[in-house]
Amino acid sequence: MTQTLTLRRPDDWHLHLRDGAMLKAVLPETARHFGRAIIMPNLVPPVVTSADAVAYRERIMAALPEGATFQPLMTLYLTEHTQAADVRAAAESGLIRAVKLYPAGATTNSHGGVRDLEKVRPVLEMMAEIGLPLCIHGEVTTPEVDIFDREAVFIDTVLDPLRRATPGLRVVMEHITTAQGVAYARSASDLAATITTHHLVINRNHILVGGIKPHYYCLPVAKREEHRLALREAATSGEATFFLGTDSAPHMDALKEHACGCAGCFTATNTMSILAEVFEQDGALDRLEAFTSLNGPAFYRLPVNEDTIALTKGEAVSYPSKIDTGEGMVTVFDPGFPLHWRVA
Ligand code: NCD
Ligand code: ZN
């Protein structure tokens, strides 16, 4: 007997599509299953102004496969020079759905990010006033702080003071990786958190035991097993606070398998199969739809997708292990266990 699961079409609330040949190669992988995605603005150079977002949106639309109905939800990359009026107009016209805060130096292409939060105060106050979400990469960049502690330290020393100083600011804690992240996200209703596919599957042993595994290296870096279990509990809880943001972050293999390898796991291709397996393992298949398709739109104040997808369970599904961009290969995330759910 085949088992079928029908879900509202899912959305991805944190996605890297890149540009050029990479965009062309990875966009179909997301557009195949997802209705919409929040598009990260960390291009080189970043998507800073509304004019940049218009141009990037056009490049994404031009790269979409024939007949695809996928909608990119654009974001702006917050800098110390961002103009509140530009952001407000972009939000009010529906061009952008969020602003992204990268602490300077926290991750890939974040050197133009924010060093002094006081410099962006007028933008944050305006965002609080109009209810525009701020997506935060929540890691401190201080060299003294251990990389495995950077999220927890960020919550205490940056995020909590920032929220207290800006009442009403709606914040998405992006790609949380710790029990502290889970607990803080639960602490207020103007907060939400995205959780990636890969952080539900791997802990730091996957990266480091038995040889270094560059395709499991991403930022924030995967933590201890107890943290992975906290993320599993949160994602499968059905609570409105938590929703999917894959953080699918493609880099060419030559740059991952390198003496100074780039951070990012590419999960767009097999995310829905992996999530169905994970939720089934935890006896929570009935809560998968909340995580992938309902909680995100609710926080972003958007309607849920009108159509549905069907997942069927059967023989193990195989996915390509790599995607060819024409300018290099990109390795698809390997969850390390067989996948039985396929999107029909
Ligand atoms: C992302 C990237 O490559 O753009 N990398 C990652 O490891 N997640 C940046 C990010 O989201 O931190
Ligand atoms: Zn990301």
Average pLDDT of the residues in 188-217: 98
Give the pLDDT confidence score for residue 109 in this predicted structure. Answer: 85
Per-residue pLDDT tens for 79-129? 999 999 999 999 999 999 999 999 998 888 888 899 999 999 999 999 999
How far, in Å, from the CA of 108 to the mean position of ligand 1?
Answer: 5
Choosing from 15, 17, 39, 42 the residue with most ligand 1 atoms within 8 A of its CB, the one to mutate for a pocket test is 42
Domain ranges of the chain: 3-343
Question: Does 12 qualify as catalytic in the annotation?
Answer: no
Q: Which of 48, 52, 54, 60 is nearest to 18 (CA)?
A: 60
Which residues fall inside 5 Å of ion ligand 2, going by CB? 247
Catalytic site residue from 11, 12, 52, 247: 247
Q: DSSP secondary structure string, 187-211?
A: T-TTEEEEE-SGGGT--HHHHHTTS
Q: Model confidence at 60, in pLDDT bands (50, 70, 90)?
A: very high
Ligand 1 lined by 255 (C-beta under 6 Å): no
How far, in Å, from the CA of 248 to the mean position of ligand 2?
Answer: 7
pLDDT of 2 higher than 80: no
Q: What are the two backbone dihedrals, phi and then psi, of residue 236, each rounded to the nearest 5 degrees?
A: -90, 0
Closest atom, ligand 1, to C-alpha of 174: 11
Per-residue pLDDT tens for 223-270? 999 999 999 999 999 999 999 999 999 999 999 999 999 999 999 999
C-alpha gyration radius of the chain: 19
Per-residue pLDDT tens for 121-165? 999 999 999 999 999 999 999 999 999 999 999 999 999 999 999
Angstrom CA distances, 334 to 202, 210, 214, 226, 337, stand at 10, 16, 12, 21, 8
Per-residue pLDDT tens for 328-337? 999 999 999 9
Angstrom CA distances, 255 to 44, 61, 128, 181, 200, stand at 16, 27, 39, 30, 24
Give the pLDDT confidence score for residue 105 in this predicted structure. Answer: 87
Per-residue pLDDT tens for 13-53? 999 999 999 999 999 999 999 999 999 999 999 999 999 99
Give the pLDDT confidence score for residue 10 in this predicted structure. Answer: 99
Give the pLDDT confidence score for residue 1 in this predicted structure. Answer: 57
pTM of the predicted protein model = 0.98
| Class of CATH domain 3-343 | alpha beta
Q: 122 preceded by cis ω (within 30°)?
A: no
Choosing from 247, 252, 267 the residue with most ligand 1 atoms within 8 A of its CB, the one to mutate for a pocket test is 247
| 26/16 Cα distance (integer angstroms) | 9
| 174/195 Cα distance (integer angstroms) | 7
Mean pLDDT of the chain: 97
pLDDT of 71 higher than 90: yes
Q: Please give the structure tokens belonging to residue 323.
A: 């995607």
Give the pLDDT confidence score for residue 107 in this predicted structure. Answer: 84
Average pLDDT of the residues in 210-233: 98
For atom 5 of ligand 1, the residue with the nearest CA is: 264
Which ligand has an atom closest to residue 109 CA?
1
Looking at this protein, which amino acid is placed at residue 18?
R
How far, in Å, from the CA of 266 to the mean position of ligand 1?
Answer: 10
| 267/197 Cα distance (integer angstroms) | 7
Q: DSSP secondary structure string, 1-36?
A: --EEEEEEPP-EEEE---SHHHHHHHHHHHHTT-SE
